[in-house]
Amino acid sequence: MNSHDLLVIGAGPGGYVAAIRAAQLGMNVACIEKESRLGGTCLRVGCIPSKALLESSELYHEAQHGFERHGIKIDQMSLDLDAMMARKDTVVDSLTKGIAGLFKKNKITHYQGRGRLAGPGKVVVSSSEGEQTVTAKHILIATGSKVARLPGVEPDGERIGTSTEALCYSKPPEHLVVIGGGVIGLELGSVWRRLGSQVTVLEYLDRILPGTDAEVADAALKIFKKQGIEFHLGCRVTGAESKKKHARVTIDGRDPIECSQVLLCTGRVPMTDGLGLESIGIELDKRGRIPVGDHFKTSANGVYAVGDVIEGPMLAHKAEEEGIACVEAIATGYGHIDYNAIPSVAYTHPEIASVGRTEEQLKEAGIDYKKGKFPFLANGRAKALGQTDGFVKVLADAKTDRILGVHIIGPRAGDLIAEATAAMTFGASSEDLARTCHAHPTLPEVVKEAAMAVTTGAIHS
C-alpha cells in the first residue's frame, strides 16, 4: 500500500499549489485528481478559458468598432470562431501540461481517479483500472465546487447549459438568456455579446454583481447597457424548458422569454459528492461546506480543507493562498492569510476590481470613513488608450487614515488592484499611497489621485 506524508484530493488551484509547496517543504506528497487534466475548474473550465475568450472577443470587438478611431481601417474582417476556440484550448492545454511538469519536477505522485475517504488516514482511489488504497499522515481536501442547480432549470447541454457549455458554443447564439447577473453571467454574457449575440441578463436582485460596491455596480450596469446587453432586474426565474427550435424561460410574475440558448449561472456550491466524509465523522455546514478551524483543520484529526469547498469567496487566488498557508502550518506550525486583503476582479470591459470593504459594509458596521474618488477621464494614459470610462474609489478610516477598501471600474482594473492590495496588506494609509511616486503617464496614477482625494485633494480634478 502506498503511503505519503500528505495526500491532496483535488488538483485545482487550492490542491495543486498546496502539493507543490508541501513538496518544496520536504514532504512526500501525492495528489488525486478525477479528471484527466490537472488544474481544476480554474484551468479546465473556469478562469483560464473564460479569460482567453474575453481577450479574443474584445480584440474582435475593437477591430470592428474601435480601430477606426485610431485611424486604422480594415476593409474586410470576419469571425473564425473555430480558430478562437482552438486558441483557447491551446492556452488551457499548455497550462495544464505545465502543472503536470511541476508535479514531476517536485516529485509529487499523481493518482488519476476519484478519491474517497475510507477511515482515518486512508483514501481509496477509483479509476477505470480499478481501486487502490493509499494512506497518509495528513489529508488535504481541495475538491472545489460545482454549478448550483436552480429548481425548474435542468441543463441539457444543448439549449440549456452552464458556464462549461458557454465556453464552447459552436456558433454565437442568436439570443442568449443569462440567468444570474453575477461574475460568470457578465463575463460570458460580454463574450457572446461582442461576438454578435443578443444577450439578456435576468437577475433576481434589483442590482447586478452582489457584494460589489453599489456605486461601482451602478456604473457597471450603465456601461453594460450601452454595450447592448439587456437587463431585467428584480426578476426571479422559475424555470427553463428546451423546445425543438428554441428555449423558453419562465419568470415569476412576468411574461416568459423565448431564446436560442440559456446560460445558468446562479452561483456554485461545494463539491463533496461521494467523498466519504461520513467515514471520518465530518459534517457539512448548512451551505454544504466543510467547516474548518485554525490552520484549515477539519473536525477529523489530520484532515484539512481549503478552497471553494470551505467558507469564503470562491476565487482561485483565495484557494491558492489557503493551500500554501495550510501546508506551511503543517510543516512549520504557522501559516497566515489576511482575509481583509483578498482582491476580486470581474474581467469585463471595463474591468471591475475591489479589495477590502465596500461603502455599504462600512456604513453597516458603523465605521467612520473618508472617501476619495478620481475618474479615468482625467488621466492622460486612459485618454491615449481611448478607455476613459470608470473611476477609482479609495475608502480610509476617518481617524487613522488606514485604507479600508479600494474599488475600481476602468481599464486594467484587475492589474491596478494589486497595488491597493499590497498597500492594505502592509497596513498603509491613504497618505502612503498618495505620497508614492507613480510613473507618468500610467493608469496607476488614477489610484494615486484617488488616494490624494481622500485628504489633500487630487491635482487633476
Closest CA to 193 of 157, 225, 234, 233: 225
CB of 395 to ligand NAD, least distance (A): 21
Nearer to ligand FAD, 11 or 29 (CB): 11
- Tell which one of 33, 165, 213, 445 touches ligand FAD (CB under 6 A): 33
List the strands of the sheet with 230-232, edge to edge.
Answer: 160-161, 261-264, 175-179, 198-202, 230-232
- Tell which one of 5, 7, 13, 443 touches ligand FAD (CB under 6 A): 13
CA atoms within 13 A on the CB side of 317: 12
Number of H helices, E strands in the chain: 13, 22
Considering only the stretches 22-30, 192-200, 202-210, 308-316, report the one whose residues sit in contact with ligand FAD under the rule CB under 6 A: 308-316
- Report yes or no: 282 and 300 within 8 Å, Cβ to Cβ: yes
* Residue 155 sits in the site that holds ligand FAD (CB under 6 A): no
Q: Which does 317 bind (CB under 5 to 8 A by kind): ligand FAD, ligand NAD, none?
A: ligand FAD
* Residue 47 sits in the site that holds ligand FAD (CB under 6 A): yes
Nearer to ligand NAD, 17 or 327 (CB): 17
* Residue 179 sits in the site that holds ligand FAD (CB under 6 A): no
Catalytic residue among 317, 336, 407, 440: 440
Considering only the stretches 289-297, 307-315, 399-407, 451-459, report the one whose residues sit in contact with ligand FAD under the rule CB under 6 A: 307-315
Give the interface size with ligand FAD as a residue count (CB under 6 A). Answer: 35
The answer to whether the bond into 350 is cis (omega within 30° of 0) is yes
The answer to whether the bond into 120 is cis (omega within 30° of 0) is no
| Catalytic residue status for 438 | no
- Tell which one of 23, 42, 217, 290 touches ligand FAD (CB under 6 A): 42
Nearer to ligand FAD, 47 or 85 (CB): 47
To which residue does cell 487534466 refer? 37
* Residue 191 sits in the site that holds ligand FAD (CB under 6 A): no
To which residue does cell 484532515 refer? 303
CA atoms within 13 A on the CB side of 55: 12
* Residue 53 sits in the site that holds ligand FAD (CB under 6 A): no
To which residue does cell 434589483 refer? 206
* Residue 145 sits in the site that holds ligand FAD (CB under 6 A): yes
Which residues form the interface with ligand NAD (CB under 6 A)? Answer: 150, 179-185, 187, 202-205, 210, 235-237, 265-268, 313-315, 344-347
Considering only the stretches 39-47, 196-204, 356-364, 380-388, report the one whose residues sit in contact with ligand FAD under the rule CB under 6 A: 39-47
Helix (H, G, I), strand (E, B) or coil at 379: coil
Which amino acid appears at position 110 of this protein? Answer: H
Q: Which does 33 bind (CB under 5 to 8 A by kind): ligand FAD, ligand NAD, none?
A: ligand FAD
* Residue length of the chain: 461
Please, which of residues 328-357 interact with ligand FAD by CB under 6 A? 347
- Tell me the CA distances in angstroms from 92 to 17, 40, 246, 281, one per residue in order: 17, 11, 31, 37
Helix (H, G, I), strand (E, B) or coil at 117: strand
DSSP assignment, residue 86? H
User: CA–CA separation, 144 vs 309, rounded Å?
Assistant: 5
* Residue 50 sits in the site that holds ligand FAD (CB under 6 A): yes
Residue 55 CB neighbour total at 10 angstroms:
16
To which residue does cell 492594505 refer? 424
Q: Which does 236 bind (CB under 5 to 8 A by kind): ligand FAD, ligand NAD, none?
A: ligand NAD
What residues act catalytically? 440
Binding site residues, ligand FAD, CB under 6 A: 9-15, 32-35, 40-42, 46-47, 50, 114-115, 142-145, 163, 184, 271, 275, 307-308, 314-317, 319, 347
